[in-house]
Structure 1
């Protein structure tokens, strides 16, 4: 539905072979790969949890001195009364999360047993040369025939909406470690279903990389596209405002309804970056209650007031970051493009894409994107632009590779103020690292600036079949590309600044060792601005950057922007 709406609003039907239509197609093609990765992680997590449950149940049964782990299985009446969704008592790791409920009385007479084996385990499917006794041994034991005390039951797979509310069987970090088993050290206990889920993730990452590579080529040739005809969205400004505001309200509800399970589905945790980004907890509305199957009590983090404060901070940052992205795109369209309709169209398209709805609660995705966008918005004020870019680089490390491009843009005027803004912001962030925390200051600095050898146990596509050693030439190529932007294109204007910044953040996905390819928000707003921007060859630093510090024009510009919106 999102793809059809995107085509209806932004596809240029009277110029079918235009670059705009190619851009729209590339944006739509990001969705299939992203959904494949999401579904693969969901299936993989389900298999891992069933394996964990089976191990715990086996340990409980082997404990002769008394079980410290309560049994995971419950009667159907207990499950119905507590309304907890439990895995099947057989702990079949090839099964789905299911719900069990009694059969209606009129149908109970026709139910003999509840099948617990998969279709491949049916007696009729055994090989012809297999002895009958051996075939019987491989069959699962039949379940009890329902009686008056044991009513007939049937099972049904949970929907995805229901599965999101099932508490995790263990901590998200432990599950994330299991999900990201590397190719060099594969899990010997992996089932066929688990391997199939990994293959689905791998195919999704490959599709994402293919589309992002096409986007990178598109951004690299963007400086050569001098003719940029005005192609506004196929809807009035009022209609675009209505759609964007409605989408924003509904999507921000995802932040309030996000669960730990959804966070694990969304991808691995951030790699190098600021300590704050690693400390922010999962945005969740899970109540203080027992965990899956009543096996574990509420965690200390859920009962700790300080942890609740961090959770509230994560929610505020996620909502504020998305709001800053939407407002920033509209202001850039009005102030720098001279076209409010184009700015509102960019904001609407950003909110319509499936990625935005899927990753709404990820602060490490949205916050750096908002900071980069506001650096572009304030490009006429090098000091303020340097502060925003320094914040983005200090929080997630990868925007540091934008410094050659931005310093080259300000080289003729404003480079000192820009450097002061970046260095001052990074210095403040480093000073804040000394306050609290258990890790040493040196460890914090190494993580903040990525000062360590590239990991040989990456996550994402590099841990699903690709040899991690091939990341090294990709990293070298990325370094060459980011350095090349210091000299090319020349002279640089606002259009090349936006497009090349997006290109650097796209290229970072290919060597990102912690879910590279999924951090689409880092380049998506800049990519949308590149698609909708007019010819900006006259917006060079010598013409638009003042000789002195930012003056009182900031307030007047803000007032005019609000009046135009």
Structure 2
């Protein structure tokens, strides 16, 4: 960042304090303290300190950070589950007009984009997409790490972050990194004899995917506010708050969190089109595991006919992803293995984690069993009740499912905040939209023609069709 702003230095704690003051000045309603909006704002602000504490190098401090995140996430989950109790949702203006909100959102996007392009990248972020990037750049994350001093890669011990398993990279991430790698080649085109050029391509791939993912979230939130909620100001308010929150700045390069969150936001925007939303959630499920738990809820939301098209879109997307990975790897068995093996199944084992890698230490691991059972019961309840759901239930139920997955996931559970942050913002800002139901899906033309022909041949069917 100092290459653009001379003498600029801003640590993560300083950004935490300054953003707190800015968010309170813009969004907090001082004239009416006891508002639901103010409560939601305080809950969102309470998330970021835990994320910052977990990034500490002190093991005792990290353990307190996970405990803090566990407590705040529990309060946030209770608030989301009780969202349907607040029937009256009056329109609340922000403390800044629409022009100011637009400028704040644009300025924050530019600021964080420059930060992402200039600041060093953690090793874990490079490893998370190296599987696809190495097919383009002819390199691997290990090569980048070995040349860290000259390439702007920071060790995870120097700047703590959430470590990722290289084998846990989803097939969608591999395809996206392969596609963006072509853009990175154009950006880094220079001296063909530069021995570090393949590594630079991989680093640019990380940065470009992260920038595009954040832009997708911002544009998606803006369109949801404008088109779905019917208020452009709400869209700018959600987008600006998403970028200003410290937890977003702390995890700017977390591609495996931001990209699926962006796909879920666009699935909400296309909620009237089950094929489009099914394709988007299918892509998101190929990155991380949590969108898989959203599939039953969304299938129930669309009903019988719409749910069938939704499931068809998810299955078709999955097949296309596996085929594309097989084409890239030139090995169908490896493609199937990547598609099915990106989820860390060993994380489901009833084993304790160290205080620095999660909440479920040796003393608490036994209590994880009722947490998992409670989560499954909540998943079933939110899927089947109410029978006919509106968008007012779909958004908070989706947010509750994603937030709830943080409790039982042992490795670093509770700090994957960016994964559910856009959904929580939509819950926080949504107006009264109880009449936004899934569209009525007519039967396929082939079945309509068959039914009409059968009715003409049978008088009983004609009478039945009239009834």
- Please give the range of the TM-score, normalised by the shorter of the 2 chains: 0.7 to 0.9
Q: Which one has a larger percent helix, Structure 1 or Structure 2?
A: 2
Choose from 40, 43, 50 the match for 1:23: 40
Count of aligned pairs between the two proteins? 372
> Which residue number in structure 2 is paired with residue 501 of structure 1?
398
The CA deviation at 1:500 is 0.8
- After TM superposition, the structure 1 stretch with the greater mean CA deviation from structure 2, 467-476 or 502-511, is 467-476
> Which residue number in structure 1 is paired with residue 429 of structure 2?
532
Choose from 407, 414, 417 the match for 1:510: 407
Query: 1:518 is paired with a residue of what secondary structure?
Result: coil
> Which residue number in structure 2 is paired with residue 274 of structure 1?
170
1:546/1:520 Cα in 2 relative to 1: closer, same or farther (>3 Å)?
same
- The 2-side partners of 1:250 and 1:465 are apart by 42
Tell me if structure 1 keeps the 8 A contact 2:294–2:401.
yes
The CA deviation at 1:514 is 2.8
> Which residue number in structure 2 is paired with residue 228 of structure 1?
89
1:74-473 alignment runs, 5 A limit:
197-256=58-117, 257-260=119-122, 261=154, 265-269=160-164, 272-275=168-171, 277=173, 303=195, 305-434=197-326, 435-436=328-329, 440-441=334-335, 443-448=337-342, 454-455=348-349, 456=351, 458=353, 460-462=357-359, 467-473=364-370
Tell me if structure 2 keeps the 8 A contact 1:404–1:485.
no
The CA deviation at 1:429 is 1.8
The CA deviation at 1:23 is 0.4
Tell me if structure 2 keeps the 8 A contact 1:11–1:24.
yes
Tell me if structure 2 keeps the 8 A contact 1:269–1:514.
no
- The 2-side partners of 1:513 and 1:275 are apart by 23
> Which residue number in structure 2 is paired with residue 103 of structure 1?
none
- The 2-side partners of 1:466 and 1:379 are apart by 43
- The 2-side partners of 1:463 and 1:479 are apart by 18
1:451/1:430 Cα in 2 relative to 1: closer, same or farther (>3 Å)?
farther
Choose from 482, 486, 491 the match for 2:388: 491
- After TM superposition, the structure 1 stretch with the greater mean CA deviation from structure 2, 466-475 or 412-421, is 466-475
The CA deviation at 1:262 is 6.6
Query: 1:523 is paired with a residue of what secondary structure?
Result: helix
The CA deviation at 1:32 is 1.5
Per-residue Cα deviation, 1:353-373 (whole angstroms, up to 9, x for no partner): 001111111101110110000
Q: State the TM-score, normalized to the length of structure 2.
A: 0.74
What residue ranges of structure 2 are gaps of 5+ in the alignment? 1-17, 123-153, 179-193, 445-467
- The 1-side partners of 2:440 and 2:204 are apart by 39
- The 2-side partners of 1:465 and 1:275 are apart by 33
The CA deviation at 1:472 is 3.8
- The 2-side partners of 1:519 and 1:240 are apart by 27
1:547 aligns to 2:408 (yes or no): no
Tell me if structure 2 keeps the 8 A contact 1:499–1:530.
yes
Tell me if structure 2 keeps the 8 A contact 1:202–1:464.
no
1:457/1:317 Cα in 2 relative to 1: closer, same or farther (>3 Å)?
farther
CA RMSD across the alignment? 2.7
The CA deviation at 1:4 is 1.4
The CA deviation at 1:219 is 0.5
1:276/1:254 Cα in 2 relative to 1: closer, same or farther (>3 Å)?
farther
Higher-Rg structure is: 1
> Which residue number in structure 2 is paired with residue 144 of structure 1?
none
Per-residue Cα deviation, 1:186-215 (whole angstroms, up to 9, x for no partner): xxxxxxxxxxx1110110111111111101
- The 2-side partners of 1:465 and 1:272 are apart by 24
The CA deviation at 1:313 is 2.2
The CA deviation at 1:449 is 5.2
The CA deviation at 1:466 is 5.1
Query: 1:486 is paired with a residue of what secondary structure?
Result: helix
- The 2-side partners of 1:268 and 1:517 are apart by 14
Tell me if structure 2 keeps the 8 A contact 1:493–1:539.
yes
- The 1-side partners of 2:304 and 2:170 are apart by 32
Tell me if structure 2 keeps the 8 A contact 1:273–1:450.
no
